[in-house]
Amino acid sequence: MSFTLMDLSSENFEFQANVWQWKTALEIIKSFDLISDGKIRQMSYNATGFKIDRDEAQTIGEKIRDEILPRLSPNKRIFADLTITDQPDDGTLYRDTDEQWKNYSASFDWLKEFSDFCMRSKGFQIF
């Protein structure tokens, strides 16, 4: 499953996320306590066209840039439980219930691109 974020401006910038990255991004956004749990839940469904307005997008981008990226550095990634590792993602699909959390992470580079997209956008729609 994948998610396409479409900028609401006339430029129609797009940003791509796979389910593994997006779940992590949503947990990060949730930790900022900026957006209601209902909106976070709506954001977790692809192809709905759910909208994030410009102010929310800007704030998300700034918070990721200012609070998350400094903790990561280019050789690290963050899991959906907000723990950080310097171990690269080796593509293993963890099926055991106790290890499934390891499937969800986002790298420094991906989060930087997402942050840039949020700050550059005029809000976005999730497809």
Top-confidence residue, 26 or 12: 26
The verdict on pTM exceeding 0.75 is yes
- The pLDDT, as a whole number, for residue 76 is 96
- The pLDDT, as a whole number, for residue 110 is 98
> What does the DSSP assignment read for 40-95?
HHHHTSTTS-EEEEHHHHHHHHHHIIIIIHHHH-TT-EEETTS-EE-SPP------
Q: What is the pLDDT of residues 63-96, one digit of tens each?
A: 999 999 999 989 999 999 999 999 989 889 999 9
- The pLDDT, as a whole number, for residue 10 is 80
- The pLDDT, as a whole number, for residue 1 is 78
Say yes or no to pLDDT of 6 above 90. yes
- The pLDDT, as a whole number, for residue 12 is 76
Say yes or no to pLDDT of 123 above 80. yes
Query: 30-34, 64-68, 98-102, 118-122: which has the minimum mean pLDDT?
Result: 98-102
Residue type at position 20: W
